[in-house]
Amino acid sequence: MTGRLENKVVLITGTGGGQGKAAAILFAKEGARIVGCDLKVEDSKETVRMVREAGGDMVSIEPLDLTIAAQAEKLVELTEKTYGRLDVLYNNASAARFAPMMEMTWEDWDFTIRNELNIIFVVTKAALPLMVRTKGSSIINTASVAGIVGAHGNSVSHAATKGGVHAFTRQLSLELAPHGIRVNSISPGMIRTPATEFIFKDQKLVDMMVQGIPMGRYGLPEDIAKVALFLASDDSGYITGADIVVDGGMVAS
């Protein structure tokens, strides 16, 4: 049977983390050749190992800091040298600092802007020339429900960057449509990953959180990877400038 991403080359950022790892494994199963990267060396290498052990094809660079333009360019160079094309860019990686506005420092704010918003600009800019040459490609940006509703505490910088990801996605989709490149975003709700693992140490907090989710459960990295697979595949060939909320109904409630 042919996979849904057969012959496609997919660059996923942050493949050492929860959602990036799940996407690399799922996309490779669907026939994609994967390029990954992460700041975290061991976690990133483990993903490569898992993909290859399952019979998939993946290369990656670690450690790699995507906020540095030269490093993002290195990743795109690896993509071109290894596979000669780039069909899907999945901007998944990010890192944020959370604090109430009264306590948030300039450094916290600046860190979050660089690691959640600038990171997407830097990688997309580096990847675009190859994507334009590839034709028929797709960009997936990871936003958040925090960019839509103000329900989370201590999140001014995170909410601002993720709202920025929504706006960036819409605007870029218009610019790139004539090149045949689709640009969409995913807004995850509460997903259990290394980034949110601290919450799961406190059962009371988990119960409270789950009560606020109409579907009665938190999300798993695979819930997001399956939606990213749709946006990466030709099944979403007429969708651009869209955001898909994947949150068990949180935003609707």
Ligand X SMILES: NC(=O)c1ccc[n+]([C@@H]2O[C@H](COP(=O)([O-])OP(=O)(O)OC[C@H]3O[C@@H](n4cnc5c(N)ncnc54)[C@H](O)[C@@H]3O)[C@@H](O)[C@H]2O)c1
Nearer to ligand X, 130 or 250 (CB): 250
Q: Measured from the CB of residue 37, what is the shortest distance to ligand X in angstroms? A: 6
Q: Measured from the CB of residue 190, what is the shortest distance to ligand X in angstroms? A: 5
Q: Measured from the CB of residue 168, what is the shortest distance to ligand X in angstroms? A: 13
Q: Measured from the CB of residue 80, what is the shortest distance to ligand X in angstroms? A: 19
Q: Measured from the CB of residue 2, what is the shortest distance to ligand X in angstroms? A: 28
Separation between Cα atoms, residue 200 and residue 128, nearest integer Å: 38
Contact 214, 252 (CB under 8 A): yes
CA 147 to mean position of chain CA atoms: 15
The b/e string for 172-202 (b: 16+ C-beta within 10 A; e otherwise) is bbeebeeeebbbbbbbbbbbbbeeeeeeeee
Radius of gyration of the chain (CA): 17
Spatial strand order of the sheet with 57-61 comes to: 57-61, 33-37, 9-12, 88-91, 138-142, 182-188, 243-246
Return residues touching ligand X (CB under 6 A): 14, 16-20, 37-40, 43, 64-67, 92-95, 115, 119, 142, 144, 188, 190-191, 193-196
* Alpha carbon distances (Å) from 81 to 59, 76, 129, 172, 250: 11, 9, 14, 26, 43
Nearer to ligand X, 38 or 87 (CB): 38
Nearer to ligand X, 28 or 140 (CB): 140
Q: Which residue is nearest to ligand X (CB)?
A: 17
Backbone phi and psi for residue 59, each to the nearest 5 degrees, phi listed first: -125, 155
Nearer to ligand X, 104 or 246 (CB): 246
Nearer to ligand X, 214 or 237 (CB): 214
Q: In the structure encoding, which two tokens stand for residue 251, read together?
A: 């935003």
Nearer to ligand X, 17 or 248 (CB): 17
The count of other CB atoms within 10 Å of the CB of residue 109 is 17
Q: Measured from the CB of residue 94, what is the shortest distance to ligand X in angstroms? A: 3
